[in-house]
């Protein structure tokens, strides 16, 4: 039943006239000058003094116009209720970098001013021409001819086009704690839609309207990997069937990421298969944190952009505040040299540490999860070493790397990893290792055993994820957060 019909019936019955009229007047005041406002005022004026219109079709037409006005007011109010920028430390740094860049450009322009011939400059001033390389000529007269009300309505329309859908945030059971932190930073409510049937099957039910909304699902595919992955797939399917406008999956930890290529015969490329499953369900965008290999982004098609966030920026802020002596960033394998190099450059740029060294450990594996031999490339004597990796599984490689560094004369050994799986004896190995401290992010849910480990420090990636979600929704740059 339409809103116009509801109004017509209520007025025909003679109920709630005063309340409805006051509501419509409020809506009209918000939309003065719009087409709906003109229609409502004309219809109302024509019906003034006509008592029979209360029970006739003419009054129903007036109510229909008023309902259209009220609906327009509601939609504009929805669009004007924008998500506030959480202004995390990453957004503040991005703003500072942008300001610094503008100041540098202004300084360069002041140092080398552009000199134009007098005749050409005078002609340009007289003609009032505009140079447009690839865009059409800008018309500046349209805005000047608008009234205040028209300009206000135009601004509201432009804002509605930019934010044509609201933002909804949902979470599976993968990492509810992290999801709640992200929702708190953004200042919005978190919707939970996943339950379980008695036999263990996933039961997904969305308890709120998502039609035409931009939906973000926070669900890491961490252990239990298959359960969390199935929850994510069914949530995406449910939201698509509920007519969500756009679905973005936020995967802090991407399961099956280590199976990204065929190392031997008759094995799957599981990372690509997971990407195909997600794409087949109808996702529109992926946000991940420190994928094991960058080529995983290419497993998704060109219609599904992937934002691979650098979790190292959180660790850079943490280690930058420490009193480090001759710091050296160490990569535990050859594949992680680029990650360690970026970590080193981040410390150098942000904290002016220009004496940071770079080293690498070459490991030879006897089989998966077991390291046979380690060789160090670089100098670490009398230095504080930071081992940088993307994940810690059983911590066997990490603890052996710490032993090698101590044996080579390192003063202290720290470790940083975005994903702390700590499978099996991983937590105990770190507690009994020679490391000074091991820092991880909360992309994977914590446990009482981890909290009891004095050498384990957990940092929150929620501000980075929240700022990324906001920037995507507001169509702002993401790369600026990492400069």
* Residues annotated catalytic, as ranges: 363
* Number of continuous H segments (helices) and E segments (strands) in the chain: 17, 15
| Among candidate residues 175, 250, 244, 168, the one with its CA nearest the CA of residue 478 | 250
- C-alpha neighbours within 13 Å on the C-beta side of residue 9: 6
Rounded CA gap, 215 and 249, in Å? 8
Peptide bond into 227 cis (omega under 30): no
Single out the residue of 150, 3, 12 nearest to residue 65, CA to CA: 3
Maximum Cα interatomic distance, the chain, rounded to a whole number of Å: 98
Burial of 475 (0-12, 13-18, 19+ CB in 10 A): exposed
Q: How far is CA 161 from CA 16, 200, 383, in A?
A: 35, 43, 55
DSSP annotation of 294: G
Q: Are strands 456-459 and 214-218 parallel, antiparallel or unpaired?
A: unpaired
Please, are residues 87 and 476 in contact by the beta-carbon 8 Å criterion? no
Query: Which residues make Cβ contacts (< 8 Å) with residue 397, sequence separation at least 6?
Result: 332, 333, 363, 371
Non-local CB neighbours of 172 within 8 Å, separated by 6+ positions:
193, 194, 217, 218, 219, 228, 231, 232, 235
């Amino acid at each position: 039943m339409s809103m116009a019909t509801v109004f017509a019936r209520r007025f025909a019955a003679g109920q709630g006239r005063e309340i409805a009229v006051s509501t419509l007047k409020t809506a009209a005041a918000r939309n003065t000058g719009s087409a709906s406002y003109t229609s409502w005022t004309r219809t109302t004026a024509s019906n003034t003094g006509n008592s029979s219109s209360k029970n006739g079709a003419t009054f129903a037409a007036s109510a229909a116009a008023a309902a259209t006005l009220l609906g327009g007011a509601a939609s504009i109010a929805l669009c004007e209720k924008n998500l506030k920028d959480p202004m995390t430390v990453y957004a503040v740094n991005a703003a500072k970098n942008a300001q610094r860049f503008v100041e540098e450009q202004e300084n360069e322009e002041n140092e080398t001013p552009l000199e134009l011939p007098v005749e050409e400059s005078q002609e340009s001033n007289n003609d009032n021409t505009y140079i447009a390389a690839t865009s059409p000529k800008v018309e500046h007269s349209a805005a000047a001819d608008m009234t205040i009300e028209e300009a206000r309505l135009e601004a509201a329309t432009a804002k509605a086009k930019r934010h044509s859908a609201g933002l909804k945030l949902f979470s599976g059971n993968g990492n509810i704690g992290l999801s709640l932190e992200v929702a708190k930073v953004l200042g919005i409510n978190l919707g939970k839609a996943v339950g379980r049937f008695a036999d263990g099957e996933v039961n997904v039910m969305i308890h709120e309207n998502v039609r035409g909304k931009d939906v973000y699902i926070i669900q890491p595919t961490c252990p239990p990997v298959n359960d969390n992955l199935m929850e994510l797939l069914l949530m995406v399917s449910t939201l698509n069937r509920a007519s969500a406008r756009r679905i973005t999956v936020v995967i802090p930890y991407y399961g099956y990421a280590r199976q990204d290529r065929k190392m031997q015969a008759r094995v799957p490329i599981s990372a690509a298969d997971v990407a195909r499953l997600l794409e087949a369900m109808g996702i529109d965008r992926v946000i991940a944190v420190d994928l094991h290999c960058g080529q995983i982004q290419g497993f998704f098609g060109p219609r599904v952009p992937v934002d691979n966030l650098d979790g190292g920026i959180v660790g850079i802020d943490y280690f930058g505040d420490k009193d480090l002596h001759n710091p050296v960033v160490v990569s535990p394998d050859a594949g992680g040299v680029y990650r360690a190099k970026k970590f080193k450059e981040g410390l150098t740029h942000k904290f002016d540490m220009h004496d940071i060294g770079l080293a690498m450990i070459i490991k030879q594996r006897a089989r998966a999860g077991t390291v046979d031999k380690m060789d160090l490339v670089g100098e670490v004597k009398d230095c504080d070493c930071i081992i940088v990796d993307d994940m810690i599984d059983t911590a066997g490689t990490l603890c052996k790397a710490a032993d090698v560094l101590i044996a080579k004369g390192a003063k202290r050994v720290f470790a940083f990893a975005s994903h702390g799986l700590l499978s099996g004896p991983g937590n105990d190995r770190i507690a009994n290792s020679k490391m000074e401290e091991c820092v991880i992010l909360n992309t994977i849910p914590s446990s009482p055993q981890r909290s009891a480990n004095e050498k384990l420090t957990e940092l929150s990636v929620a501000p980075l994820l929240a700022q990324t979600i906001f920037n995507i929704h507001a169509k702002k740059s993401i790369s600026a957060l990492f400069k």
